[in-house]
Every structure is written in structure tokens, then in C-alpha cells.
């Protein structure tokens, strides 16, 4: 009987494991695949291991510059000087935009040189223009990493050249890339440009997927001997229930071709193995609940945005939701105030997502008589 029970438990465990899609074999030292629509990690390997990030570093370099543009500390049309330090990046034949000390390129041109051409000289010129010095700018990069809680990231330079202590991880790089997409969508188009010509020198974007997959619209490549070939790639595809964006990070592949091939495998698998299911629309009431001591007797609760969850393909019918809220709800209530949680699970009880429930319309406090009456009702209750 014990053997039979053990066999049944083993079979059930194997069945449960089989229900979770397994990613393809990925020839990369580290990788992560994130569904940015549902905020779910679909696959990973050694995603938190600190590594040499190579030119993926320039994602954070660009993010800090985008922040300065947003704060109007500089403009896209503003020109910046090219220091000898920026010009000296030519030593060792690294990636370059080919600026020199006689030039005063615009911020827009430098950003294209940084993002499309992966120019180390552009990175230094922008860092000096925003931070006053490269060292000050690196502090801004690390401060931002700390604000996001990136525990496996420490920047020592703005270019990604190998240096002791300069490190990041696949998951941390995915976080930086995701913030660029969500925080500064007006600048994300830089990452989709296939080539850029500056000073009569044309260079192709090193992200090969921009020419192979029309749904890939960014983001950044990197290579050093220590890092191997790295690629952050983002794709957005149309589905009947809306657009869906996936983001892959591969680090430590063997070649330019390998990083593109492995990234494409991850993206294609993520789109086919998982469905993004819209559970609730933005602005729609998820629950209507009683309010005490308020001018209104009920209040509608909902989510700040549309609620999407990622589930294995074909498992949408297995979802169920449960509302957990503060009880009793006592006025005053402010619009946007969190008062509970929406939990989405499978019918077997496995957690899928947790979403804050917020008040959709403010409920002011009632008059003296209304408050007194509800106080009596609450005491009886």
C-alpha cells in the first residue's frame, strides 16, 4: 500500500511539473526572460549571478541622461564639448562614435552614438555633460541602481569596459531596460534605429534581431572578453486581447550570432508557451463594498491599471480570483487609497498574481448623525 501511495504521489508530482512549460536549451551563461505586460519572469538561469555587463552598462548611462532631459537640465538640441578624455577612448580600438575635440555634437547625436553605435566616446561626453565629470556621473548611476534595489550591480565606469568591481546581473539589466521602456517611452525609439551615420561614418546597430524579427524594437548589445557576447532584446507582438511585450537578457554567449539566436529562441518560446490573460480592465470595479460613517454607503474597488497574468498556454480557464479587503471600511476614503488585495490563483490554489485594490472614488466623512448611527450599527455588528 505504501509503495502504491508513493507511486501515485510521484506520478502526481511529475504531472504537476509537466504542466509548467520548460524553456528550450539556451547556450548562454546567464539569462532571464520577463513578460513586461504581466510583470512575470517566465524563465531564468543564474539570473542573479554578478557578471561583467560589458556595454549593457550603457543602458544605465542612457537612463541617467534621459532623466536629465526629463528634468530639463539639458535638451536634445544642446551641444556638448568633446574632452580629451572622451577622445582618448579611441585607445585600444573599442566601440566608437568617432567624435574629436574639435567637435560640439548635439545631445541627440551623442545619444544615437551611445545607443546605436555603442560609442564609448559618446558615453564619456554625455557623462561629463550631465555630471560634470565621469566620476560624478557614475555616482548617479549607482544611486539609481540602489534606489531600485539592484543588489548585484556596481558601476565603476560609463562604458562597460572591464574593470575590477564593475558588475551586474541578467535580472538587474532587465530591470534597467524595463525602466527605460516604461519611464521614458518618448526616448525608447532610439533603440529601434538600425544604423546611424555621424561624421560620414555609417555604423549598423549590432542588435541583429532588429533586421530579423519585425516585432523586436530594441535594445542593447555588449561584448568584452570577460563578459562574452551579451544582448538585451525586447519585442512587442499583437494579440486579440492587446499588445504584449517580452524582454530577454542573455549574457556569456559565444558570438554575435549566438546571442541573437538564443535571444530569439527565448522570445519565441515565451510567446508560444504562455498566454497573457486580461483578468480585469483598467478603471472597472472589481468589487463594490459597504462603507461606514461616509456620505456614500458603498464604494467601488479596482486596480490602478488593467490586470494581466501570464499562464501556460491554454490554462486561462483554470484561473480564479479572490478579494481580500479591510473590514470594516470607515470613511474618509481617498481616491487611490489601498484597502485590499486581489489574489489570482489557479483552481488548484497555486498563486498567479497579487494586485493592490484601491478606492476608485473618494468617500468623504458623513455628518454627525450619520457617523453616530453607523457607530451604533458597528457596535451591534
pLDDT of residue 328: 84
Instruction: Read off the pLDDT band of 282 (50, 70, 90).
Output: confident
pLDDT of residue 22: 93
Contact 64, 130 (CB under 8 A): yes
pLDDT of residue 259: 98
pLDDT of residue 321: 86
Using CA atoms, how far apart are residues 135 and 131, in angstroms rounded to an integer? Answer: 8
Using CA atoms, how far apart are residues 158 and 137, in angstroms rounded to an integer? Answer: 8
- Give residue-wise pLDDT tens across range 140-158: 999 999 999 999 999 999 9
- Give residue-wise pLDDT tens across range 310-349: 989 888 888 888 888 877 888 798 999 998 898 998 887 8
DSSP 31-90: EEEEETTTTEEEEEESTTS-B--GGGGHHHHHHHHHHHHHTTSS-TT-B----HHHHGGG
Contact 170, 147 (CB under 8 A): no
| For range 39-43, the mean pLDDT | 95
In a 3-state reduction of DSSP, which class is residue 183? helix
In angstroms, what is the C-alpha Rg of the chain? 25
- Give residue-wise pLDDT tens across range 82-128: 999 999 998 876 799 999 999 999 999 999 999 999 999 999 999 99
Q: Cα–Cα distances in Å, from 215 out to 139, 257, 293, 344?
A: 35, 18, 52, 29
pLDDT of residue 10: 36
Which stretch of DSSP H or E encloses residue 348? Answer: none
Instruction: Read off the pLDDT band of 6 (50, 70, 90).
Output: very low
Paired sense of beta strands 287-290 and 228-239, if any? unpaired
pLDDT of residue 329: 80
Instruction: Read off the pLDDT band of 13 (50, 70, 90).
Output: very low
Using CA atoms, how far apart are residues 123 and 121, in angstroms rounded to an integer? Answer: 5
Instruction: Read off the pLDDT band of 229 (50, 70, 90).
Output: very high
Using CA atoms, how far apart are residues 201 and 44, in angstroms rounded to an integer? Answer: 38
Whether the per-residue pLDDT at 247 is higher than 50: the answer is yes
Omega of the bond prior to 219 within 30 degrees of 0, cis? Answer: yes
Instruction: Read off the pLDDT band of 278 (50, 70, 90).
Output: confident
pLDDT of residue 16: 38
Using CA atoms, how far apart are residues 207 and 256, in angstroms rounded to an integer? Answer: 9
Phi-psi region of 200 (alpha: psi -120 to 50; beta: other; left: phi over 0): left
| For range 305-309, the mean pLDDT | 88
Whether the per-residue pLDDT at 371 is higher than 50: the answer is yes
- Which residues are annotated as catalytic? 55, 58, 118
**Bigger pLDDT: 374 vs 305:** 305
pLDDT of residue 92: 73
Which stretch of DSSP H or E encloses residue 158? Answer: none
Average pLDDT, the chain: 90
In order of start, what are the domains of the chain with their CATH numbers?
28-274 (3.40.710.10), 281-380 (2.60.410.10)
Lowest mean pLDDT segment, chosen from 33-37, 138-142, 261-265, 357-361: 357-361
Amino acid at each position: 500500500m505504501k509503495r502504491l501511495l508513493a507511486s501515485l504521489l510521484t506520478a502526481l508530482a511529475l504531472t504537476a511539473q509537466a504542466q509548467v512549460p520548460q524553456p528550450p536549451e539556451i547556450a548562454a551563461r546567464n539569462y532571464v526572460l520577463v513578460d513586461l505586460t504581466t510583470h512575470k519572469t517566465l524563465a531564468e538561469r543564474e539570473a542573479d549571478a554578478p557578471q561583467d555587463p560589458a556595454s549593457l552598462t550603457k543602458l544605465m548611462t542612457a537612463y541617467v541622461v534621459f532623466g536629465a532631459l526629463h528634468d530639463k537640465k539639458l535638451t536634445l538640441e544642446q551641444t556638448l564639448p568633446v574632452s580629451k578624455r572622451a577622445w582618448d577612448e579611441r585607445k585600444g580600438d573599442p566601440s566608437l562614435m568617432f567624435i574629436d575635440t574639435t567637435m560640439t555634437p548635439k545631445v541627440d547625436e551623442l545619444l544615437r552614438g551611445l545607443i546605436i553605435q555603442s560609442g564609448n566616446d559618446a558615453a564619456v561626453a554625455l557623462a561629463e555633460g550631465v555630471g560634470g565629470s565621469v566620476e560624478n556621473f557614475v555616482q548617479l548611476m549607482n544611486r539609481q541602481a540602489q534606489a531600485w534595489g539592484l543588489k548585484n550591480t556596481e558601476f565603476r565606469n560609463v562604458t562597460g569596459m572591464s574593470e575590477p568591481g564593475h558588475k551586474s546581473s541578467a535580472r538587474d539589466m532587465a530591470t534597467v531596460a524595463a525602466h527605460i521602456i516604461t519611464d521614458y517611452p518618448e526616448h525608447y525609439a532610439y533603440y529601434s534605429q538600425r544604423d546611424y551615420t555621424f561624421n560620414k561614418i555609417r555604423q549598423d546597430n549590432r542588435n541583429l534581431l532588429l533586421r530579423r524579427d519585425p516585432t523586436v524594437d530594441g535594445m542593447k548589445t555588449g561584448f568584452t572578453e570577460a563578459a562574452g557576447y551579451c544582448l538585451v532584446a525586447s519585442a512587442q507582438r499583437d494579440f486579440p486581447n492587446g499588445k504584449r511585450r517580452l524582454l530577454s537578457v542573455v549574457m556569456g554567449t559565444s558570438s554575435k550570432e549566438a546571442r541573437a539566436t538564443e535571444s530569439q529562441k527565448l522570445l519565441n518560446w515565451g510567446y508560444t508557451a504562455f498566454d497573457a490573460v486580461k483578468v480585469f480592465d483598467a478603471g472597472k470595479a472589481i468589487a463594490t463594498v459597504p462603507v461606514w460613517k461616509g456620505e456614500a454607503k458603498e464604494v467601488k474597488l479596482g486596480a490602478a491599471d488593467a490586470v494581466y497574468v501570464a499562464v501556460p498556454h491554454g490554462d486561462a480557464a483554470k484561473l480564479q480570483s479572490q478579494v481580500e479587503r479591510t473590514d470594516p471600511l470607515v470613511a474618509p476614503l481617498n481616491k487611490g487609497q489601498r484597502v485590499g488585495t486581489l489574489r489570482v490563483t489557479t483552481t488548484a490554489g497555486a498563486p498567479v498574481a497579487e494586485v493592490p485594490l484601491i478606492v476608485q472614488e473618494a468617500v468623504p466623512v458623513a455628518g454627525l448623525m450619520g457617523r453616530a448611527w453607523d457607530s451604533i450599527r458597528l457596535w451591534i455588528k
